[in-house]
Amino acid sequence: MALACHENLISLGEVYQVLRMGPTYWLNRQEHLCSCGAPAHQCEFWQPVLTKMRSLDIIEPTKPSYYPDAYSALLGQFAKLYSSEYQPIDTSKGIKHLKLLAGSDTIDAKALFLIRDVRSYASSQARLARSQPRKGLKKVKGHYWYQMLRWLTDNKKRESLLKELALPFRTIGYEPFCFNPSQTLDNVYEFLALPKVPSHENMKQSTHHVLFGNPMRNCDKRKSEIRYDDRWFSETKYMLPAALMPTLMQYNQARVYAKL
């Protein structure tokens, strides 16, 4: 949402998840609104994309050629609707999707690797796990040390994958973004070879067609401002595992708070 404040960027949300469900699913369900406020079959972007996919018989996700063909149709419609000065933002996060982008001969993709402070992540995930009915070994997910080790393992895997796929990427700390969005976004625009914009404070000016992803997409107030969940500031349970895992905390400092 914040990136889409730039006049040359348009956010499309998690494209892979939209494609995974297929065009018929979205065109037949009026209750699923795009972030522009319209259902898929009336959205100025998704309606022609999904209709084009259906007319080309790109409707079966189990076919090997489905995702490359579907993505090609999407980018073709994007080029028709918007000039060559515009670039789409895809917030998909899956490994399959990254491999699809990296393996394409026609898509020139750059990745933003957003990493949240391990203490904030562990607090959020442990709280969520404790709120759900869990039995046996699954109760371990409610402990900080487990979530902190999971954070380290998963982020190292993602970092290794991006390097293996040779996708150009920039690591972005979630906390620096929330507390200094202008500086962070300026650095991102530089990475994307885009001109800087005067202000990033008014996200109401952003252009987006998010059909899947970002729970804020249909809440006018929440999608118009940057808020940080600071509940972990008043917690102490992360302190012991953090003290016992200095290597993890060094990785956290280097990736989340390093200057771009």
Structural domain boundaries enclosing 34: 1-96+189-228
Residue 260 has pLDDT above 70, yes or no: no
Say yes or no: 214 and 254 in one domain: no
The pLDDT of residue 2: 86
Say yes or no: 235 and 142 in one domain: yes
Say yes or no: 79 and 16 in one domain: yes
Say yes or no: 34 and 147 in one domain: no
Flag whether 181 is in a domain: no
Flag whether 235 is in a domain: yes
Residue 217 has pLDDT above 70, yes or no: no
Flag whether 182 is in a domain: no
Mean pLDDT within 9-20: 93
Mean pLDDT within 122-133: 89
SS3 153: helix
Residue 222 has pLDDT above 70, yes or no: no
Flag whether 172 is in a domain: no
Say yes or no: 63 and 156 in one domain: no
The pLDDT of residue 199: 60
* Token pair in block for residue 201: 């404070």
Say yes or no: 151 and 118 in one domain: yes
- Collect contacts of 120-125 with beta carbons under 8 A, ≥24 apart: 120/174, 120/175, 120/229, 120/232, 121/147, 121/148, 121/151, 122/147, 122/148, 122/151, 122/232, 122/238, 122/241, 123/231, 123/232, 123/235, 123/237, 123/238, 124/229, 124/232, 125/150
Q: Name residue, tokens 């070879």.
A: 193
Flag whether 180 is in a domain: no
- Segment among 3-7, 228-232, 234-238 with least mean pLDDT: 3-7
Say yes or no: 14 and 36 in one domain: yes
Mean pLDDT within 228-237: 92
* pLDDT level of residue 105 (50, 70, 90 thresholds): confident
SS3 113: strand
pLDDT tens across 142-174, in order?
Answer: 899 999 999 999 999 999 999 999 999 999 999
Say yes or no: 157 and 248 in one domain: yes
pLDDT tens across 35-91, in order?
Answer: 888 999 999 999 999 999 999 998 898 898 999 999 999 999 999 988 888 999 999
Number of domains in the chain: 2
Say yes or no: 160 and 237 in one domain: yes
The pLDDT of residue 219: 58
Flag whether 88 is in a domain: yes
Say yes or no: 25 and 77 in one domain: yes
The Cα angle at residue 221 between residues 216 and 223, in degrees rounded to 5 = 35
Flag whether 119 is in a domain: yes
* Token pair in block for residue 128: 């969520």
Flag whether 105 is in a domain: no
Q: Which residue has the higher pLDDT, 202 or 206?
A: 206
Residue 238 has pLDDT above 80, yes or no: yes
CA atoms within 13 A on the CB side of 170: 17
Say yes or no: 7 and 82 in one domain: yes
Say yes or no: 116 and 234 in one domain: yes
